[in-house]
Amino acid sequence: MTRTIITGGLVITASDELRADVLIEDGRVVAMATAGSQQWTADRVIDASRKYVIPGGVDAHTHMELPFGGTFASDTFETGTRAAAWGGTTTIVDFAVQTPGHSLRQGLDTWYAKADGKCAIDYAFHMIVSDVNEHSLKEMDGLVEEGVSSFKLFMAYPGVFYSDDGQILRAMQRASGNGGLIMMHAENGIAIDVLVEQALARGETDPRHHGEVRKVLLEAEATHRAIQLARVAGSPLYVVHVSAEEAVAELAAARDKGLPVFGETCPQYLFLSTDNLEEPDFQGAKYVCSTPLRPREHQAALWRGLRTNDLQVVSTDHCPFCFRGQKELGRGDFSKIPNGLPGVENRMDLLHQAVLDGHITRRRWIEIACATPARMFGLYPQKGTIAPGSDADIVLYDPHAEQVISAETHHMNVDYSAYEGRRITGRVDTVLSRGELVIDRREYTGHAGHGAFIPRSTCQYL
Ligand code: DUC
Ligand code: ZN
Ligand code: ZN
């Protein structure tokens, strides 16, 4: 039996802040006590004075090695989970993909194989359903039993991931019966594709046009439609990567009616804007993702939504493509730029900066980045908190350290940073995953294969 004590830090969870010592045995938290009040013996004592002791981050939206636009997201499960650990995230929920014409089983098995033996931290899966048919609907039940209890559908990307309203309704009906949670990419992709074609015909080929054709109204319309379809089906709904004020308003109206509707936003929508998409010399391609970045006025509504709980989760939608060789596929045609931004390493730090900037409180930081994603996706209290019985996924966070985010120093396998040059106060110092040191005072001590697949229960808000 290995015993570790973390002493003298400020333990912050979604509900409490207290000076406490934390006792870990065999990978789990077994006790907490007022700092210095117990004479525990241990094999290892970790001094957390002047540091926060926080739950490891739970990033509920990543795409390691996602095939997209003729290429693959550049982080593997090995590089991406190592970078996540560097950034204080100890669990990711990645998206397994069903390829049209194939079963959910085949898609999920491909993702198990990609991740097996590669991960530095624990991981779980959602399932992207891109071919809703009698067989895949039946398969959803088995996946919920297996611990893959959430299903992403797309109202965007016709011909790739897209489902029509009838398919969406059927999947929602199935989820309402089996306890699954439907996650929605809410953009009207049929209308967007018309606008893309028209923009290209006018010679509008630069990255900024990606933001212009993917209109706020088409996000708001799809969000509204997804909510109504979920009501008809009697299913809960989780809208991913919410970027527009008008989409937040749709979620808020639904929640005011008491509907089981949830919303996630991402750091890129909180910290970046169409100003980035407009950067010259094709640099805007670095910021092409969908939903797209919005004019900066939308940021206030997103922060407000996070404070009022109209938005509950901040995940990254980490989907990195290198500028050289990948984003460049879209030179001369913005619709060929692979969609996605890197960020799995930056989320906890950016949100800590948001605490200092007065957008959210410290406990809300932990709630939106750790506790709520764990509850939303059936991982709590194993993940997302520090409490007796929880996995010892713990971050020692130095709230006073200064850092400048840069591709020169980050650990993600991508040749640029979306936050290049941004000054952050606060930095991860030490990371434990199930009691094992993965980062020890800014040294990587983890290894591929430590991370385990974690089967999930169903959404814990229902
Ligand atoms: N959006 C992205 O930006 N990348 C991958 C898929 C998605 O929906
Ligand atoms: Zn999406
Ligand atoms: Zn995504």
Instruction: Give residue-wise pLDDT tens across range 53-65.
Output: 999 999 999 999 9
Residue 129 is encoded by which pair of tokens?
A: 């359903």
Q: What distance in Å separates the CA atoms of residue 55 and residue 68, rounded to the nearest whole number?
A: 32
Give CA–CA dist 25/37, Å, rounded: 18
Question: In the beta sheet, which residues pair with residue 315?
Answer: none
Give distance in angstroms: CA of 397 to centre of ligand 2: 30
> Average of pLDDT values for 23-44?
96
pLDDT at 285 over 80: yes
Summarize the confidence of residues 164-187 as an average pLDDT: 98
Tokens of 150: 């959430």
Percent of residues, the chain, with pLDDT higher than 90: 100
Mean pLDDT of 223-246: 98
Q: Any idea which ligand is nearest the CA of 289?
A: 1
Model confidence at 48, pLDDT cuts 50, 70, 90, reads very high
Q: Check: CB of residue 100 under 8 Å from CB of residue 135.
A: no
In this predicted structure, what is the pLDDT of residue 178?
98
* Alpha helix stretches (DSSP H) within 287-334: 298-308
Scan for tokens 């983890």, then name that residue.
446
Which tokens hold the place of 147?
């611990």
Structure tokens at 112: 């198990």
Report the chain's C-alpha Rg in angstroms: 21
Ligand 1 within 6 A of CB of 339: yes
Q: Is the pLDDT of residue 437 over 80?
A: yes
DSSP-based three-state secondary structure for 81: helix
**Above 90 in pLDDT, residue 1?**
no
CATH architecture of 57-376: Alpha-Beta Barrel (3.20)
Distance in Å, CA 344 to ligand 3 centroid: 12
What is the pLDDT confidence band of residue 349, given thresholds at 50, 70 and 90?
very high
Q: Which two tokens stand for residue 313?
A: 């989760």
3-state secondary structure at position 96: strand
392, 24 Cβ separation under 8 angstroms: yes
Mean pLDDT, all residues of the chain: 98
Q: Can you give the pLDDT at residue 424?
A: 98
Label residues 58-90 b or e (16+ Cβ within 10 Å = b).
bbbbbbbbbebbeebbbbbbbbbbbbbbbbbbb
Measured from the Cα of 68, ligand 1's closest atom is 5
Q: What are phi and psi of 87, to 5 degrees?
A: -95, 10
Backbone angles phi, psi at 199, to 5 degrees: -65, -45
Q: Other C-beta atoms within 10 Å of 438: how many? A: 26
| CA–CA dist 45, 57 (Å, integer) | 22
The per-residue b/e assignment along 116-155, b for 16 or more CB within 10 angstroms, e otherwise, is eebbbbbbbbbbbbbbbeeebbebbeebbeebbbbbbbbb
Ligand 1, atom 8, residue with closest C-alpha: 290
CB 61 within 8 A of CB 21: no
Asked whether the beta carbons of 128 and 97 are under 8 A apart, the reply is yes
Q: Which residues surround ligand 2, an ion (CB under 5 A)?
A: 185
User: Is the C-beta atom of 63 inside 6 A of ligand 1?
Assistant: yes
Compute the distance between CA of residue 311 and CA of residue 228 in angstroms, rounded to an integer: 18
Choose the residue to mutate in 268, 294, 317 for probing ligand 1, maximizing ligand atoms within 8 Å of C-beta.
Answer: 317
Pocket test for ligand 1, best of 62, 242, 319, 344 (most atoms within 8 A of CB): 319
Digit-coded pLDDT (tens) for 239-251:
999 999 999 999 9
Query: Would you say the CB of residue 315 lies under 6 angstroms from ligand 1?
Result: no
Per-residue pLDDT of 77-126, as tens digits, reads: 999 999 999 999 999 999 999 999 999 999 999 999 999 999 999 999 99
Q: What is the H or E stretch that residue 173 is in?
A: helix 165-178
Query: Which three-class secondary structure state does DSSP give residue 434?
Result: coil
pLDDT tens per residue across span 384-394:
999 999 999 99
For residues 107 and 114, give the distance between their C-alpha atoms in angstroms, rounded to a whole number.
11
Helix-strand-coil split of the chain, %, nearest 5: 35, 25, 40
pTM for the full predicted model: 0.98
Residue 313 has a pLDDT of 99
Q: Are 338 and 69 in contact (CB under 8 A)?
A: yes
Cα(63) to ligand 3 centroid in Å equals 6
Rounded-to-integer distance, Cα 232 and Cα 63, Å: 30
Q: Which atom of ligand 1 is nearest to the CA of 240?
A: 8
89-97 and 181-185 beta bridge pairing: unpaired
252 Cα–ligand 1 center, Å? 24
The Å distance, Cα 95 to ligand 3 centre, comes to: 8
Give the pLDDT mean for 235-260: 98
CA of 127 to the centre of ligand 1 (A): 14
User: Does the beta carbon of 290 sit less than 6 angstroms from any atom of ligand 1?
Assistant: yes
Q: How many CB atoms lie within 10 A of CB 257?
A: 10
**Dist CA 95 CA 111 (whole Å):** 8
Are the CB atoms for 305 and 251 separated by under 8 Å? yes
Q: Is the CB of 340 under 6 A from ligand 1?
A: yes
Q: What is the pLDDT of residues 146-155, one digit of tens each?
A: 999 999 999 9
Q: Map residue 413 onto helix, strand or coil.
A: coil
In angstroms, what is the span from residue 317 Cα to ligand 3's centroid?
5
- What confidence category does residue 435 fall into, taking pLDDT thresholds of 50, 70 and 90? very high
Indicate the top mutation candidate among 126, 152, 153, 241 to test ligand 1's pocket, ranked by most ligand atoms within 8 A of CB: 241
Ligand 2 centre to CA of 155 (Å) is: 9
The mean pLDDT of 215-231, rounded to a whole number, is: 98
Average pLDDT over residues 419-434: 98
Residue 118 has a pLDDT of 98
Ligand 2 centroid vs 338 CA: distance in angstroms? 13
Ligand 1 atom with the shortest distance to the CA of 288:
3
| Domain boundaries of the chain, sorted by first residue | 57-376
Angle of the 104-115 helix axis to the 134-146 helix axis, nearest 10? 40
Read off the pLDDT of each residue in 375-387 and give the average, rounded to a whole number.
98
214 lines ligand 1 (CB under 6 A): no
CA of 210 to the centre of ligand 1 (A): 13
User: Is the C-beta atom of 210 inside 6 A of ligand 1?
Assistant: no
Which residue's C-alpha comes closest to atom 7 of ligand 1? 290
> Ligand 1: does its nearest atom lie under 6 Å from the Cβ of 273?
no
**Distance of alpha carbon 114 from alpha carbon 39, whole angstroms:** 45
Amino acid in the structure at residue 334: F
Query: Helices 165-178 and 216-233, interaxial angle, to 10°?
Result: 50
